[in-house]
Amino acid sequence: MTDAAELARQAAGELYSRDVAARALGIEILAVDTGRATLAMRVRPDMLNGHAICHGGLIFALADTAFAYACNSYNENTLAASAAIEFLAPAREGDLLTATASEQSRGRRLGLYDIEVSNQQGTRIALFRGRSARVGGNVLAGAGDK
Amino acid sequence: MTDAAELARQAAGELYSRDVAARALGIEILAVDTGRATLAMRVRPDMLNGHAICHGGLIFALADTAFAYACNSYNENTLAASAAIEFLAPAREGDLLTATASEQSRGRRLGLYDIEVSNQQGTRIALFRGRSARVGGNVLAGAGDK
Amino acid sequence: MTDAAELARQAAGELYSRDVAARALGIEILAVDTGRATLAMRVRPDMLNGHAICHGGLIFALADTAFAYACNSYNENTLAASAAIEFLAPAREGDLLTATASEQSRGRRLGLYDIEVSNQQGTRIALFRGRSARVGGNVLAGAGDK
Amino acid sequence: MTDAAELARQAAGELYSRDVAARALGIEILAVDTGRATLAMRVRPDMLNGHAICHGGLIFALADTAFAYACNSYNENTLAASAAIEFLAPAREGDLLTATASEQSRGRRLGLYDIEVSNQQGTRIALFRGRSARVGGNVLAGAGDK
């Protein structure tokens, strides 16, 4: 494992330990690397909306979390500035959703990430595109502020 | 109250009774009318992310729910096709967030809705723009399928 | 006129003198103020697409130009980072389109602007939402670089 | 060439013959297939904005045109409902821009297309995501309305 990949893994571990919301949603980290992250979430009964399918907000939350772990993988505090999501197919109770984030562009302050959400059969559930902005400071304490 | 406003209120009540996800997030309906809806959510400790602010996915979920209640207010089953969100300011633990949805355009099948999310001090937390698509059928059982 | 409004007017004049593309499209500036701009464009025969309506790219170009004049109104060089457009109604040959840009949010580096495009009858043709990023330097020469 | 690919080619030829705007911008069709299109445009002096780079509206126009040829490739009249563009790098005078559109999803009425715009060196200039809606009728006269 390269130093950069190890840093990405450590930053994700630190974020996840503090990320109460992601853990409350049952989101798990499958893999993290520089500019990349793969996360999973199972659709629970308490995630269904009035149309008896997974609430779009929770599909977004999964994608947004993958986005966060990808754009914070350089150990520089980074927030979502904006994001867009396309809902392609419904997710149903019991579905295991996987979100894969990949970096499309990264400047000194701004970044662009694409996240794809699929179910256990490989059906694409949603496409997400997020824009990140660095806000100063580091994810890992004691790593030194740049 | 007009018949249309009463229908909007009934459709929202029916959706909310089935909307396990919205209730699990503590989302409450403050007002619903034709093409409009105002909802509220308090930021709980289990809604914070790794940066100690409200997870963006849950701010999106509140806005998306207001969007759903506004675009289903005609009693015609309608789903989100896509949405975009701009994060303007962080929301913190204990904040009471209000999402106000207003219809911008509505054709035979497609609709466009703007949602504004503010905190208890009137600070704008996020702007959300959602595109809806009718999928057939009605929200209220026995209301007759068109 | 306030100093800020006068600066906005001067920056717009300077940009417009160099903005060959806007002038080639027949775009005219109707009004500019701090964080605001109103521009107009008439739909010419050479602006029609294969469906015999105004090419969406040129409606976008009008909105994007209003966006540029609004976000450069502080005399700080600012570029579009991303933008989204909703096409609500077609524009036809001879229509006089007006784009009105208004600032929604402005931080140290990033800004958010909403632009509405209407025709001569007040029908809304498109809604545009643009995100800007400062890139350093000033619009007006000799104004001093900050 | 399959029948579907031949139909895509014919529909594109018909659209292009009527697409005054695309031709006025010097846009050329390099390739068209079912759900796909590749177009090119050279950045002319009259395409520069006040920052002396290609006007974002014209980069959008190129991407939007590729989008149109891809989503009309089934010979069913289809319009852009909305689109989002990310500007990754500036385009300069003389640059030859290529836009490649690929279908991400296509239902009975709605479609989703991703378009990538690159320059002659392969640098990505912009990413575009467009949502299409069928409006009835066919591109090719005499092809029969479905």
pLDDT at position D141 is: 80
| DSSP codes of every residue in B72-117 | TTTSEEEEEEEEEEEE-S---TT-EEEEEEEEEEE-SSEEEEEEEE
Inter-chain CB pairs, B–C, below 8 Å: 28
Asked whether residue D143 carries a pLDDT value surpassing 70, the answer given is no
Binned at pLDDT 50, 70 and 90, residue A144 comes out as very low
pLDDT band, very low/low/confident/very high, at D142 (cuts 50, 70, 90): low
Chain B residue whose CA is closest to A133: B87
* Separation CA B112–CA B129 (nearest Å): 7
Q: Chain D residues with CB inside 8 Å of A84's CB?
A: 84, 129
Residues A42-89 pLDDT 10s: 999 999 999 999 999 999 999 999 999 999 999 999 999 999 999 999
pLDDT number for residue B142: 61
Residues of chain B with pLDDT under 70: 142-146
Q: B3-138 adopts what CATH topology?
A: Thiol Ester Dehydrase; Chain A (3.10.129)
How many residues appear in chain C?
A: 146
**Residue A15: which pLDDT band, with cuts at 50, 70 and 90?**
very high
Asked if A136 has any chain B CB less than 8 Å from its own CB, the reply is no
Question: For residues C18 and C77, is the Cβ–Cβ distance under 8 A?
Answer: no
- What A39-42 contacts at long range (C-beta under 8 Å, 24+ apart), as own/partner pairs, is A39/A65, A39/A66, A39/A69, A39/A98, A39/A99, A39/A101, A40/A96, A40/A97, A40/A98, A40/A99, A41/A96, A41/A97, A41/A99, A42/A94, A42/A95, A42/A96, A42/A97
The H-assigned helical ranges of chain A are 3-18, 20-24, 56-71
- Which chain D residue has its CA at the smallest distance from B109's CA? D109
Nearest to residue B64, comparing CAs of B15, B106, B107? B15
Instruction: Compute the distance between CA of residue C78 and CA of residue C137 in angstroms, rounded to an integer.
Output: 9
Q: Show residues of chain C in contact with A82, CB under 8 Å.
A: 82, 131
Using DSSP, state whether A129 is helix, strand or coil: strand
Query: Would you call B84 and A82 a contact, using CB atoms and an 8 Å cutoff?
Result: yes
Mean pLDDT of A131-140: 95
Tokens in use for A26?
């049952």
Residues of chain B with C-beta less than 8 angstroms from the C-beta of C88: 104-105, 112
Main-chain dihedrals φ then ψ at residue B58, nearest 5 degrees? -85, -30
Q: How confident is the model at residue D85 (pLDDT cuts 50, 70, 90)?
A: very high
CA nearest to A98, candidates A113, A82, A116: A116
Whole-structure pTM value: 0.95
In the three-class reduction of DSSP (H, G, I as helix; E, B as strand; rest coil), residue C63 is classed as: helix
Yes or no, beta carbons of B56 and A83 under 8 Å apart: yes
Q: Inform me whether the pLDDT recorded for D2 exceeds 70.
A: yes
3-state class of C111 per DSSP? strand
Nearest residue of A to residue B21, measured between CA atoms: A47
Q: A3: distance to nearest CA of chain B, Å? A: 22
Q: What is the pLDDT of residue C146?
A: 39
D49 touches chain A (CB under 8 A): no
The total of other beta-carbon atoms located within 10 Å of residue C117's CB is: 26
pLDDT of B52:
93
Structural tokens at position A94: 């019991």
Q: Which chains touch B (3 or more CB pairs under 8 A)?
A: A, C, D
Quote the pLDDT of residue B67.
98
Q: Which chains touch C (3 or more CB pairs under 8 A)?
A: A, B, D
Cβ atoms A23, A63 nearer than 8 A:
no
Structure tokens at B115: 């949602």
- List the structure tokens of C91: 């524009």
Instruction: Spell out which residues of chain D touch residue C136, defining contact as CB-CB under 8 Å.
Output: none
Would you call A129 and D105 a contact, using CB atoms and an 8 Å cutoff? no
Q: What is the pLDDT of residue D99?
A: 98
Is B14 at the interface with chain A, CB within 8 A?
A: yes
Written as six digits, the tokens of A93 are: 């109770």
Interatomic CA distance for residues B137 and B143, integer angstroms: 9
Query: C80 touching D, CB under 8 A?
Result: yes
Mutate which of D14, D46, D51 to disrupt the C interface (most C C-beta within 10 Å)? D51
Distances (CA, A) of A48 to A22, A91, C10, D143: 17, 9, 54, 44
**Taking CB atoms and an 8 Å limit, are A85 and B83 in contact across chains?**
yes
pLDDT of residue C2: 83
Residues 6+ apart with CB under 8 A from A86: A126, A127, A128, B81, B82, D104, D105, D112, D129, D131
B58-73 pLDDT, tens per residue? 999 999 999 999 999 9
Residues of C in contact with D20 (CB under 8 A): 45-49
pLDDT at position D145: 42
List of chain C residues with pLDDT < 70: 142-146
Give me the pLDDT at residue B141, please: 79
Tell me which chain A residues have a C-beta less than 8 angstroms from the C-beta of B101. none
Nearest Cα to Cα of residue B97 among B73, B72, B69, B126: B126
The amino acid occupying position D51 is H
D46 inside 8 A of chain C by CB = yes
Chain A residues with CB-CB distance to D108 below 8 A: none
